[in-house]
Amino acid sequence: MNNIRTLWEHCRNDFKGLAAVRWLEKKDVKEISYTGLDEAVTAVRKGLAEAGLSGKHIALIGTSSVFWIESYLAITTGDNVAVPLDANLPAEDLVDLLNRSDSEALFLSPKLKALTETVKAECPKIKNIWFLSEEDDQPCLTQLRASGEGVDDVEGNGEDELATIIFTSGTTGKSKGVMLTQNNLASNVASVQYIVEPGCVLMSVLPIHHAFCLCMDWLKGFSLGAVICINDSFLHMVRNMSIFKPEVMLMVPLMIESIYKRLATADPSVPAQVLAQNVFGGNLRIIFTGGAHLDPFYIGKFREYGVDVLEGYGMSECSPVITSNTPDDHKDGSIGKPLPNVEIRFENDEILVRGSSVMKGYYMMPEETAKTLEDGWLHTGDKGYIDEDGFLFINGRVKNLIILSNGENISPEEIENKISLSPLVAEVIVTGEDNGLTARIYPEKELAEARGMDAAEIRSSIQSFIDEYNVSQPTYRRITALVVRDNPFIRNATSKIIRAKALEDIPA
Amino acid sequence: MNREEEFKKIVAQYCKVSPEDMTGEMKFREDLGFSSLDFMSFLGEIEDTFDVELEEESVLKIFTVGEALELLNGMEAA
């Protein structure tokens, strides 16, 4: 059966004595084997059955941890559906997503304990909350594992049943729950053409609730018998590389750009090999990257330090990989060749994808689903072409989404809705510029006049509103620049602001 | 080199502003062109150089060179 249960049982049987996960506790390196992780996963799975959770949606809120992945596997190797959420979102957004995903139980990071009361009060469907820890005064994994003792194990979900719902930015200003089946995930893991020896060390630095990290660091890594090391903080990424000494890493372009700054400003008398040892830990051979455009310049530069950067392309809706360069077959500047389980065609230059990794649809959003999926073909919103050697290239977008180089997809409408809550904002357009978000605002002139405000006061008042918004948001959704316009935005015949002309003024 | 000079020298590795031209009011993102990850990576270097432990939650409230320096000096005092 092509499901996560079968995938995981193969890992458990083939890589028994090997280490599965390593992580840091204070400064000590901890480790769990495939066997140890399987025992924990099985115990939690039975505990969920004992709690009456079968065919239910179960959310996870927390950053990467061995407890997070244990719980995720317990949900998806059984008969429930996992809903991973971004732990950095404001409480109101998390409540909204918990409710919209119909989640009935929650695994919560102990760092977010303050959220418990809000969830209890505002998410009536949530019946159980377990903390992602082994010691707590509230229910946590220890009790859940123990509660499953002596309980019959459950079968894994069938391949066409849902495995996970992953939220992604929507162009309508509301994030959408991508429904991925057991087969979607298992076939994506199997189709990425990459093999390492069991015991190969990977270091996971991306957010675990993202499809790229979840499927390619974790599920793919496990399927190869890799040791997956958890980077506990971006603050310590370089330090952690020297501790874990990874051979392979997944990164978004922003990380590659940032590491390059370190390489470029190093003392030129230091030999490349020594510098690579200091910055990459000494064993790094391959970086897989995706999620945003990477300037091929960096690929050449990293090669000088003995590191191959292999770019791929994907989206949550495709579980997520669609194309990838591989160690044996790659071309700089391209995003690789389509996976064997994927077909690609073009419609007005837009890339359309069909295959066993393509999602079932958006959860409870039939209209959005119909717009994106037509006869099994998924509209990616990206424009591109395939060259004579079969490599895919991207050269534009048809949707409004802003893609930052950290791979985060930002829906400008979602942020505009929040900024327009300021009474001084008449019109606002958020644009992605210089790898940050710029708010372009036409102020409410009449109100400003009534309050006797001059241009400087208007700007400062709007800036204060934005500062307040920024504090409540994860860094990638913060506004980094403000432009106050003298004139309204240019509108089309139906009075809609023409987004593509947001940087222009109405001609005199 | 004193603490502030050493601090600014590390900041300068991530941007095109020299330590001499750097002021406390300068914002990492807007004025110095730091990406969010540059900022984290920079703080990691600060930890290693000055042997301090920063908390991710508290550094997210830092926007300017002066605020970062203040946090660092506060840690020294503690």
The secondary structure of A167-194, three-state, reads EECCCCCCCEEEEEEHHHHHHHHHHCCC
Chain B's closest residue to A266, CA to CA, is: B13
Name the burial class of residue A351, with classes exposed (0-12), middle (13-18) and buried (19+) by CB atoms within 10 angstroms of its CB.
Answer: buried
**pLDDT tens digits, one per residue of A253-301:** 888 988 888 788 777 888 888 888 888 999 999 999 998 888 889 999 9
Instruction: Evaluate whether A406 touches A161 at the Cβ level (below 8 Å).
Output: no
- Fold that domain A1-158 belongs to in CATH: Rossmann fold (3.40.50)
Scan for tokens 């015949």, then name that residue. Answer: A493
- Residues of B near A (Cβ–Cβ under 8 Å) read 13-14, 29-30, 33, 35-38, 40-41, 43-45, 47-48, 54, 56, 59-61
DSSP state of A382: E
Full 3-state SS string of A259-327 = HHHHHHCCCCCCCHHHHHHHHHCCCCCEEEECCCCCCHHHHHHHHCCCCEEEEEEECHHHCCEEEECEC
Give the minimum alpha-carbon distance from B66 to chain A in angstroms, rounded to a whole number: 17
Find which of A33-47, A420-434, B22-36 is predicted with most confidence, using mean pLDDT: A33-47
- A237 contacts on B by Cβ (under 8 Å): 40-41, 44
Question: Which of A17-21, A101-105, A320-324, B53-57 has the lowest average pLDDT?
Answer: B53-57
Mean of the per-residue pLDDT values for chain A? 92
Q: What percent of chain A has pLDDT over 90?
A: 71
Segment A156-189, tens digit of pLDDT: 999 999 999 999 976 566 899 999 999 999 999 9
- pLDDT, position A409: 80
| CATH code assigned at B39 | 1.10.1200.10
At residue B76 the predicted structure's pLDDT band, cuts being 50, 70 and 90, is low
Structure confidence at residue A228 as a pLDDT band (50, 70, 90): very high
Tell me what the pLDDT averaged over chain B comes to: 85
Q: Which fold has domain A411-501?
A: GMP Synthetase; Chain A, domain 3 (3.30.300)
pLDDT, residue B78, reads: 47
The tokens describing A412, both together, are 């400008």
The per-residue pLDDT for A22 is: 98
- What is the ipTM score, two decimals? 0.76
3-state SS class at A253:
helix
Task: Find the mean pLDDT for residues B13-38.
Answer: 87
Q: Show the beta-strand stretches assigned E in A54-161.
A: 57-61, 81-85, 103-108, 128-131
- Residues on chain A touching B56 (C-beta within 8 angstroms): 233, 235
More confident site: A48 or A26: A48
Average pLDDT over residues B23-42: 86
pLDDT digits (tens, 9 = 90+) for A379-410: 998 989 999 999 999 887 777 778 887 778 88
Q: Between chains, do B37 and A236 touch, taking CB under 8 Å as contact?
A: no
Taking the CA atoms of residue A122, residue A125, residue A130 and residue A131 in that order, the dihedral angle to the nearest 10 degrees is -30
Summarize pLDDT for A204-215 with one digit per residue, the tens.
999 999 999 999
Q: Looking at mean pLDDT, say which of A12-26, A490-504, B1-15 comes out highest.
A: A12-26
Instruction: Name the amino acid, one letter, at A120.
Output: K
CATH superfamily of A185-354+366-397: ANL, N-terminal domain (3.40.50.12780)
Determine, for residues B41 and A254 on separate chains, whether the beta-carbon distance falls below 8 Å.
no
Average pLDDT over residues B12-31: 89
Distance from C-alpha of A440 to C-alpha of A473, rounded to nearest angstrom = 19
* Nearest residue on chain B to A436, alpha-carbon basis: B35
Please name the residue of chain B whose CA is at the shortest distance from the CA of residue A480. Answer: B30
Residue of A235, A405, A436 with shortest CB distance to B44: A235
The pLDDT tens digits of the residues spanning A124-142 come to 999 999 999 999 889 999 9
CB pairs under 8 A between A and B: 58
Domain range enclosing B16: 3-77
Q: Do B35 and A405 touch (CB under 8 A)?
A: yes
The C-alpha atoms of residue A492 and residue A505 are separated, in whole angstroms, by: 14
Alpha carbon A405 to chain centroid, angstroms: 13
pLDDT number for residue B2? 85
Q: Which of A312, A313, A343 is nearest to A326 (CA)?
A: A312
| Cβ–Cβ gap A480/B47 under 8 Å | no
Question: What is the pLDDT at residue A505?
Answer: 76
pLDDT over threshold 70, residue A495: no
SS3 A393: strand
Per CB-CB distance under 8 Å, the chain A contacts of B40 are 233-235, 237
* Domain residue spans of chain A: 1-158, 185-354+366-397, 411-501
Give A296-343 pLDDT, tens digit per residue. 899 999 999 999 999 999 999 999 999 999 999 999 889 999 999 999
CA B25 to chain A, closest CA, distance in angstroms equals 15
